[in-house]
Amino acid sequence: MDIKGSEKKEAEGPKKSPFDLIFGQIQRKKSDKGKSSIFQVKSLFRAFDKDAAKTDNEKNEKELDHKSISEDQKSDNVVSGSAEEEDSDSTGWWKVTHFMEKFGKKADIHYINLNNCELTAVDIKELGSLMPFLLDIEEMDLSWNDLIGGSLKLMTPHFNHVSKLRILNLSNCGLTGDDTAVLGESLHYIPKLQVLDLSWNNNLGGTLSRLLQNLVDNGELKSLSLTECSLTAEDIQSLAPVIGKMSRLEILDLSENKEVGSKIKNLTEELKHCSCLGVLKLRSTGLHRDSVQYLSSAFQYWPYLRKLDLSCNKAAGGGFGESAACLTSFKQLQLLDIHQCCLSEDDVAALTQVIPLLSNLQVLDMSSNKTVGLSPEHLFSRLRFLPKLKSVNVSNCMLKKESFAGLAEATRYLTDLQTLDLSWNKCVGGNLKLLTETLSNANFLQSLLLSSCNLITQDLAALGSAAQASHLDNLQQLDLAYNDTVPDEAWSLLFESIPALKNITELDISLRPASVRDCGPWFIHLISNIPKLPMMKELGMQRWTLSTAEQQQLNRICKEKNISIHYD
């Protein structure tokens, strides 16, 4: 055997038998089968993982979609809710507008004005139901509706919707004691209330305590008006301590309640705590001489008082003699009304010294105090020291010629004078020229009242001359009524010059109630010149007798010029 063949066989390895071949194939099949199984298992798990991932992705997508849908639905609900609210508000305001239109009024988000609209309980109930749409209302005026008495309970429960209400006017509404109670119970709903007017509700007398027990908690109240409410002494007694706690009170009106005077001492003591008081009205409240003295003891506590009305207290005469000096505490006093107080001579003498010191006084009413006319003329001549005076009323004061002359002279300095009432002073007759000559500086005079002054021809001539001289250019009201002493020729002089009164709106030439008189030749001047008065609105001609033709002429002219005629 050669060597090369042997090496070749060794390189190729040992020769395998058939059994080895068969066994090897079997091993290979098992190995391939195992690999295939492992591959199949791995493939199965890979498929499961893929399906799981797919499921998770689908689940996340669904959750996102669901969340997106929920958000969209939520957004749609919000938009829908907002739209519904807007629709509701729109519908509500339409109801408010429709309600106001029934009474010829316009709806306002801040102001409800239903004054003198003949409201009934049904209307009050409807108004209450509309309050949810009046959230910004600040003022409500239901005054002079006397049919709503007893029905406030239909409205006050809804006050919780109008918490911004500042002004509530219920004067002359026929209110009852029950109304007072339910109003008191609802005051906590309107904590910002500043003005409350319950005047001219006569049935409130004896029931005020039902309101006061809640009113005391209102620290914002600035104005309280209870004029002519038939208040009893007990009402005033219970009111006094409540007022003492109203630190912001600026206006108090208790006029026309006769029992106030009997409790004025209690009231005065509490009013001393009201340092912000600016207006005090006690007209016709049963004040007597001692009452005025009690009241004057509190004057020093009211540095901001602007208006003081003590008028129509006939028993107060004699109380101003010692109290007048206290008026000087009022550095800002603008109105002093003491008409019809039966002033004594001592009162007038004291007031003569004090009134000229009230440098900011604008309105002075001393009418119907006959002792004023008995005083020396210097009371009126000293009015020249009050340059801000706008209104002077000394009607029915039995003025003497000297007093009238002093007043006439003072008007030279009263450049802001707007109203001058000299009615029922007979001394004016025959002396009016003393006044007309001094009116050249009274550029703002609007009302000149000369009723029942025994005027004569020269007085009307002086009046006509003043008009033609442009001294009465701003005059709007001229009252010449009850001057039966004026002859026909004097009326002619007036109506010839009346076109110079270009701003006149009211003219009264009526005669006394017991008089009857035919129109004279002056009537032709009247109908000729009335059309030349562009501002004319009212003409008083009572007790003048007109023929049918004259009446037709006057009616036609006044209809064309829209002038109201008052005649029999």
Hey, what CATH class is 413-568 in? Answer: alpha beta
Tell me, what's the pLDDT at 126?
96
DSSP 336-385: EE-TTS---HHHHHHHHHHGGG-TT--EEE-TT-GGGGGS-THHHHGGGG
- Phi, psi for residue 454 in degrees, rounded to 5: 55, 45
Angstrom distance (rounded) from CA 549 to CA 95 = 53
Which residues are within 8 A (CB) of 12 and not within 5 positions of it... i.e. 6 or more apart?
A: none
Q: Are 162 and 135 in contact (CB under 8 A)?
A: yes
**Beta pairing partners, 3:** none
What's the predicted TM-score (pTM) here? Answer: 0.82
Report yes or no: 203 and 149 within 8 Å, Cβ to Cβ: yes
In SS3 terms, 305-325 reads as CCEEECCCCHHHCCCHHHHHH
State pLDDT tens for residues 36-79. 444 444 444 444 444 544 455 555 454 545 545 455 554 455 44
267 backbone dihedrals φ, ψ, rounded to 5°: -65, -45
User: Is 175:145 a contact under the CB 8 Å cutoff?
Assistant: no
CB 117 within 8 A of CB 105: yes
pLDDT of residue 393: 98
Residue identified by tokens 């070749």 is 8
CB neighbours of residue 338 within 10 Å: 24
Q: Kindly give, in sequence order, each residue whose CB lies less than 8 Å from that of residue 100, ignoring residues fewer than 6 positions away.
A: 106, 107, 112, 114
- What is the mean pLDDT of the segment spanning 500-525? 95
- pLDDT of 400 reads 92
Predicted pLDDT at 91:
87
Type and span of the H or E element at 449: strand 447-449
pLDDT (average), residues 532-538:
95
**Res. 5: pLDDT tops 70:** no
Predicted pLDDT of residue 70:
52
Q: Is the pLDDT of residue 116 over 50?
A: yes
Cα–Cα distance measured from residue 480 to residue 432, given in angstroms and rounded to the nearest whole number: 12
d(CA 239, CA 75): 57
pLDDT digits (tens, 9 = 90+) for 319-353: 999 899 999 999 999 999 999 999 999 999 999 99
- DSSP assignment string, 201-221: -GGGTTTTHHHHHHHTT-TT-
**221-232 mean pLDDT:** 97
**What percentage of residues in the chain have a pLDDT greater than 70?**
84
Q: Which of 188-192, 301-305, 502-506 has the lowest mean pLDDT?
A: 188-192
Phi first, then psi, for residue 333 (nearest 5°) are -60, 125
pLDDT score recorded for residue 12: 44
Instruction: Give Cβ neighbours of residue 370 (< 8 Å, ≥ 6 apart).
Output: 396, 397, 398
10 Å CB burial of residue 48 (0-12, 13-18, 19+) is exposed
Report the candidate in 271, 329, 276, 275 with the shortest Cα–Cα distance to residue 300. Answer: 329
Domain positions in the chain: 413-568
Report, as an integer, the average pLDDT of 157-168.
Answer: 96
- pLDDT tens-digit series, residues 16-44: 454 455 445 545 544 444 444 444 444 44
Could you tell me the CA-to-CA distances from 279 to 225, 282, 545 in Å, in that order? 11, 10, 46
**pLDDT confidence of residue 86:** 55
Report d(CA 283, CA 146) in Å as an integer. Answer: 24
β-bridge partners, 169: 141, 197
Rounded to whole angstroms, the Cα distance separating 340 from 285 reads 13
> Exposed, middle or buried, 93 (CB in 10 Å: 0-12/13-18/19+)?
middle
- The answer to whether the CB of 355 falls within 8 A of the CB of 382 is yes
* Cα 15 from chain centroid (whole Å): 131
Strands (E), 81-131: 111-113
φ, ψ of residue 239 to 5 degrees: the values are -70, -35
Mean pLDDT estimate for the chain: 87
> In this predicted model, what pLDDT tens digit does every residue of 393-407 receive, in sequence order?
999 999 999 999 999
Q: State the pLDDT at residue 439.
A: 86
Residue 484 confidence (pLDDT): 96
Question: What DSSP designation does 17 have?
Answer: P
Distance CA 557, CA 546 (A): 15
pLDDT confidence tier of residue 518, bands split at 50, 70 and 90: very high
DSSP letter for each residue of 135-162 = TT--EEE--S-TT-TT-GGGTGGGGGG-
Q: What is the pLDDT of residue 217?
A: 67
> Which residues, at least 6 apart from 246, have a Cβ–Cβ distance to it below 8 Å?
219, 221, 224, 274
Stretch 343-367: mean pLDDT: 95
Q: What is the 3-state secondary structure (H, E, C) of 468-517?
A: HCCCCCCCCEEECCCCCCCCHHHHHHHHHHHHHCCCCCEEECCCCCCCCE
Are 393 and 339 contacting, i.e. CB atoms less than 8 angstroms apart? Answer: yes
Residue 128 tokens, joined: 């209450």
pLDDT per position as a tens digit, 471-488 = 999 999 999 999 999 999
